[in-house]
């Protein structure tokens, strides 16, 4: 028996190397596994390399664009001074309103809910599989980033943390086919689901009935019903609404509010945050 | 030693690729040229060492996808074995033929990846979008194989493919 094993040792080893990962893949399918010790070690080595390369590339880009931007900087400085004066005046007004708001809240006995601050992170790489649209950020478990946390920018939703290790985390983009986000049409309050199409550019509106009030240009925001994303974050705008003669549901595309290909800095929203900060809320109000 | 160098090179290439994709603003198309190393191993390494190193290359790519499933280690070992099989019919130790073989392997790898992803995904979503990036991937592998050939020969100067025609 042992002599047989010894004789076919090479064949058995190569066969095991071929079949073990296949078995793992077929049993876990598209879900993947949580990072193990070896994965963590690889990411621990890779994250600083990716961060360093990103910093070098960004630095070079900034140097070139900075040189180009010097032309016409005087006019820009004058415009900035003018804008600053206007902003100061606006700030004064807002402080007055804030004071009034605080007094009124105190009169009503309003209890302020505690919202933890978002974790700012930098995108250090795009993950290398066309079958799973995700990116890597330079904040991980060490910075209190956890699996399942929503990732946003001031423009809108980017995705969701799918794995976090020491100094980095992977974020599944909303455009990935596995992504599902509970949404509301801001104007008509129709509820639906935004599903990633997989082309990296758009999402599809799912579960919206044919008779629902949805038109091109409608703003789509998170409904908060999926238990992941806080209510009121911008997903994008409705495009290309189609109502076929037969069937229960309408079809529509959603153009993401965030340029998912060009995003560089993101905010990770802690799970305990029950509501998004004002800076992340849509600027247009319902009609 | 050779395996460690190959894995180090893979890690470096994957890091560069992930940053390059971000800089160039690709959405679905990914650029991955690590399969060139697997093809090189298929032509010049012995079966066990080559299979282990190919597994390592695939494993690193799997970790870099952000959702390790085991698909890429399997495909890397499969490609390694297929290249060994093919090399018994074609002597691809010249630069040009190596580049062509790397391009062909990338094409086959991409199709197999799409097939297995379709097999395990709900309704095969995203398959068409994924296929659109294959020509770019093949072209990049061709160019990379052509450019990286002298470096690979320097890293591995003395090992000629043993007994061509024998798979294992």
| Cβ-nearest to A45 among B11, B26, B31 | B11
How confident is the model over A263-280, as pLDDT tens digits?
A: 888 999 987 544 555 545
Q: Are residues A107 and A133 in the same domain?
A: no
A-chain residues within 8 Å CB-CB of B52?
Answer: 13, 17
- The Cα–Cα gap between B39 and A60 comes to 34
ipTM score here?
A: 0.83
Q: Which residues contact B150 (CB under 8 A, 6 or more apart)?
A: none
B 24-53 near A (Cβ less than 8 A):
25-32, 47-48, 51-52
Q: A71: which 2 tokens?
A: 């032309």
**Boundary of a domain, candidates A62, A88, A112:** A112
Position A26 pLDDT exceeds 90: no
In a domain? residue A285: no
Residue A150 maps to a domain: yes
**Token pair of A208, please?**
């919206």
Q: What is the pLDDT of residue B76?
A: 94
Q: How many angstroms separate the CA atoms of A109 and A182, rounded?
A: 32
What are the distances in angstroms from CA A92 to CA A78, A89, A148, B117? 22, 5, 39, 57
User: Same domain, yes or no, for A85 and A167?
Assistant: no
The answer on pLDDT for B150 being more than 60 is: yes
User: Which chain A residues are closer than 8 Å to B35 by Cβ?
Assistant: none
Fold observed for domain B2-155:
Arp2/3 complex 21 kDa subunit ARPC3 (1.10.1760)
Say if residues B69 and A33 touch (Cβ distance below 8 Å). yes
pLDDT, tens digit, for every residue of A81-130?
Answer: 888 888 887 887 787 788 778 777 776 765 554 456 888 999 988 887 77
- Partners of A31 on chain B (C-beta within 8 Å) are 67, 69
Distance of alpha carbon B70 from alpha carbon A29, whole angstroms = 9
A118-132, B63-77, B92-106: least confidently modelled range = A118-132
Quickly list H helices, chain B: 2-24, 35-44, 47-64, 71-87, 95-120, 127-131, 134-155
Strands A251-256 and A234-242: antiparallel
Q: Do A32 and B68 touch (CB under 8 A)?
A: yes
Same domain, A105 and A176: no
**Global pTM?**
0.75
Nearest to B66 by CA among A180, A175, A165, A193: A165
Q: What is the DSSP string of A102-157?
A: HHHHHHHTPPPPP-PPPEEEEEEEE-S-TTS-EEEES--GGGT--TT-EEEETTEE
Containing structural domain, residue A264: 119-280
Residue A237: beta bridge partners? Answer: A219, A255
Domain boundary among A79, A96, A112: A112
Chain B partners within 8 Å of A199 (Cβ) = 27-28, 126, 129
Nearest in space to A168 (alpha carbons), one of A85, A44, A30: A44
Structural domain contains residue A287: no
Closest listed residue to residue B75, CA positions, set A26, A130, A28, A21: A21
B19 and A125: CB-CB below 8 Å?
A: yes
Residue B22 contacts A, CB cutoff 8 Å? yes
Domain boundary among A70, A89, A112: A112
Report the distance separating Cα A11 and Cα A139, nearest Å.
43
- Computed over every residue of chain B, the mean pLDDT equals 82
Please give the pLDDT value at position B29: 62
Structure tokens, A260: 């998912």
- Same domain for A71 and A184, yes or no, is no
B130 touching A (Cβ < 8 Å): yes
Choose among A273, A270, A265, A269: nearest CA to A138: A265
B89 contact partners, CB below 8 Å, separation of at least 6: none
Q: Phi and psi of A257, rounded to 5°? A: -70, -30
Q: Measured between CB atoms, which of B32, B71, B114 is closest to A25? A: B71
Check whether residue A106 and residue A134 sit in a common domain.
Answer: no
Same domain? For A85 and A142 the reply is no
What is the number of domains present in chain A?
2
Contacts of B45 in chain A (CB under 8 A): none
Tokens of A99: 């004071």
Q: Nearest by CB to A18, from B74, B129, B133: name it.
A: B74
Q: Do B113 and A131 touch (CB under 8 A)?
A: yes
Least confident interval from A78-82, A121-125, A198-202, A260-264: A198-202
């Amino acid at each position: 028996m042992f002599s047989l094993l010894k004789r076919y040792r090479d064949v058995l080893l190569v066969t095991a190397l071929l079949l073990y990962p296949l078995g793992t893949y077929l049993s876990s399918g598209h879900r993947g596994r949580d990072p193990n010790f070896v994965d963590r070690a690889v990411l621990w080595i890779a994250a600083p390399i990716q961060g360093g390369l990103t910093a070098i590339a960004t630095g070079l880009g900034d140097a070139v664009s900075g040189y180009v931007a010097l032309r016409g900087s005087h006019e820009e400085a004058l415009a900035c001074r003018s804008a600053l004066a206007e902003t100061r005046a606006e700030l004064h007004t807002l402080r007055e309103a804030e004071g009034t708001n605080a007094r009124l809240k105190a009169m009503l006995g309003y209890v302020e809910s505690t919202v933890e601050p978002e974790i700012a992170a930098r995108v250090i790489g795009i993950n290398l599989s066309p079958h799973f649209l995700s990116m890597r950020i330079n904040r991980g478990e060490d910075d209190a980033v956890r699996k399942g946390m929503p990732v946003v920018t001031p423009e809108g939703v980017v995705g969701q943390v799918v794995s976090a290790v020491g100094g980095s985390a992977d974020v599944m983009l909303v455009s990935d086919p596995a992504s599902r986000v509970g949404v509301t049409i801001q104007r008509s309050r129709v509820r639906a689901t935004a599903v990633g199409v997989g082309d990296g550019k758009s999402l599809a509106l799912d579960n919206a009935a044919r008779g629902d009030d949805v038109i091109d240009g409608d703003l789509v925001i998170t409904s908060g019903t999926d238990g992941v994303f806080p209510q009121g974050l911008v997903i994008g705008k409705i495009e290309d609404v189609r109502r076929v003669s037969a069937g229960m549901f309408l079809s529509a595309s959603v153009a993401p509010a965030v340029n998912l290909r060009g995003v560089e800095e993101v905010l990770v929203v802690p799970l305990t945050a029950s509501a998004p900060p004002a800076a992340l809320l849509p600027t247009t109000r319902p009609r | 030693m050779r395996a460690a160098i190959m894995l180090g090179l893979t890690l470096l290439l994957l890091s560069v690729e992930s940053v390059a994709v971000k800089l160039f603003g690709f959405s679905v198309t990914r650029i991955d040229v690590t399969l060139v190393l697997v093809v090189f191993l298929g032509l010049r390494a012995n079966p066990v060492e080559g299979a282990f190193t190919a597994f390592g290359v695939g494993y690193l790519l799997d970790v870099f996808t952000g959702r390790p499933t085991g698909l890429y280690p399997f495909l890397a070992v499969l490609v390694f074995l297929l290249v060994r099989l093919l090399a018994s019919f074609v002597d691809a130790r010249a630069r040009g033929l190596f580049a062509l073989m790397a391009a062909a392997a990338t094409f086959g790898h991409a199709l197999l990846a799409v097939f297995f992803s379709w097999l395990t995904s709900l309704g095969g979503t995203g398959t068409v979008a994924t296929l659109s990036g294959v020509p770019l991937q093949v072209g990049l592998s061709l160019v990379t194989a052509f450019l990286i050939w002298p470096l690979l020969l320097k890293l591995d100067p003395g090992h000629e493919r043993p007994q061509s025609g024998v798979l294992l």
